[in-house]
A and B are shown apart, each in its own frame.
Chain A
Amino acid sequence: MSDGDCEKCEELLQGYLDRDLTPAEVTIAEGHLGGCEYCRRRYRFEAQLRRYIRTTASERMPAGLMAKLTELRGPTADGL
């Protein structure tokens, strides 16, 4: 496996994780990942990292905010 192939794989990897590659690019990325331990480890790492960032940086709405938002609603018409 040449370094050029790993560079190409690195370039495609984010798009691959975003499912944003053309079918031809997917073939290149998967063909390379299938045979390259170095890139495969990095692929798994990147996938884990994505999930980790999403869960750790996500903060639930504070208690009490929903009540404040509900107060902003328009007047409720009778009989609805």
Chain B
Amino acid sequence: MSESGATEPEEDAGRRVANEARERVHFEEEALGLADQVYRVARRMVGTREEAEELVQDTYARAFRSWRSFTPGTNMRAWLLRILTNLNTDRGRKIQRTPDQQPLEESDYYLANRLAAVEGEQALEEEQVVERLSQGSVVNALAELPHDFRDVVVLVDLGEFSYADAAQILDIPIGTVMSRLHRGRRILKQALAEETLT
């Protein structure tokens, strides 16, 4: 056997290890670059800042351990949030309300109609009309949404995920994403109307 024949497999192995380490570092850097966006979604899925921080840390710990299961070129932010929502469910979030106990939501125009009734139809024309709703009331209304609705609203309306991505993250059919989103937004508007216009 020639010298080169003896050393090549070793070199290959060395190269493979180095390549893998490089891929892992690349993965970690890309994931860390998404941390703020992941946190913003996490923050509205749980009650407190501390819980959100903990959830994001658990998510990254798991992501860094199982980085090989991420397919390069696919949506890493969605992949991270899939881990995060699974962990959040594992944390023992209670199964709330059965479907027939879900709140009955008003129509899509409810908040606008209530505002128009209180302030006049012209109020809707104002440039910053929505700023009458305080930041606190928006945050409260989101926090009070039943969690099935809240997860979808937070992913689509805050995280700006597509219906398809949200369906994949939550492991539910796309039709369920759409119906929860539409109902969740209505419940949210109803809560905002009640909190700010009464």
Binary interface encoding of chain B residues 112-136 relative to chain A, with 1 for a CB under 8 A from any of its CBs, else 0: 1001100001001100111101010
Which 8 A-B pairs have CB atoms at the shortest separation, nearest pair first? A77-B21, A61-B39, A41-B124, A52-B130, A56-B135, A61-B36, A42-B112, A45-B112
Q: Which residues of A contact B115 (CB under 8 A)?
A: 45
Chain A residues within 8 Å of chain B by Cβ, number: 37
Q: Is B22 an interface residue (CB 8 A)?
A: yes
The CA-CA distance from A73 to B43 in the complex, in Å, is: 22
Q: Which residues of B contact A24 (CB under 8 A)?
A: none
The CA-CA distance from A69 to B43 in the complex, in Å, is: 16
Q: Which residues of B contact A72 (CB under 8 A)?
A: 57, 60-61, 64
Q: Which residues of B contact A65 (CB under 8 A)?
A: 35, 39, 53, 56-57
Q: Is B197 an interface residue (CB 8 A)?
A: no
Are A70 and B32 within 8 A (Cβ)? yes
Chain B residues within 8 Å of chain A by Cβ, number: 50
Q: Is B25 an interface residue (CB 8 A)?
A: yes
Q: Shortest Cβ distance from A67 into chain B, in angstroms?
A: 11
B-binding residues in A (CB < 8 A): 10-11, 13-14, 18, 20, 38, 41-42, 44-46, 48-50, 52-54, 56-62, 65-66, 68-70, 72-74, 76-77, 79-80
A-binding residues in B (CB < 8 A): 17-18, 21-22, 24-25, 28, 32, 35-36, 39-40, 43-44, 49, 53, 56-57, 60-61, 64, 107-109, 111-112, 115-116, 121, 124-125, 128-131, 133, 135, 138-139, 142, 156-158, 160, 163, 178, 182, 185, 188-189
Are B21 and A41 within 8 A (Cβ)? no
Q: Select B109's contact among A10, A18, A50, A80, beta carbons within 8 Å.
A: A10
Are B112 and A41 within 8 A (Cβ)? yes
The CA-CA distance from A50 to B157 in the complex, in Å, is: 7
Q: Which residues of A contact B43 (CB under 8 A)?
A: 59
The CA-CA distance from A58 to B185 in the complex, in Å, is: 16
Q: Shortest Cβ distance from A46 into chain B, in angstroms?
A: 7
Are A54 and B133 within 8 A (Cβ)? no
Are A44 and B142 within 8 A (Cβ)? no
Q: Which residues of A contact B178 (CB under 8 A)?
A: 20
Q: Which residues of A contact B40 (CB under 8 A)?
A: 58-61
Are B35 and A41 within 8 A (Cβ)? no
A65-B35, A66-B35 given; A49·B57 CB < 8 A: no
Q: Shortest Cβ distance from A10 into chain B, in angstroms?
A: 5
The CA-CA distance from A61 to B139 in the complex, in Å, is: 16
Q: Which residues of A contact B61 (CB under 8 A)?
A: 72
Q: Select A49's contact among B17, B18, B111, B116, beta carbons within 8 Å.
A: B111
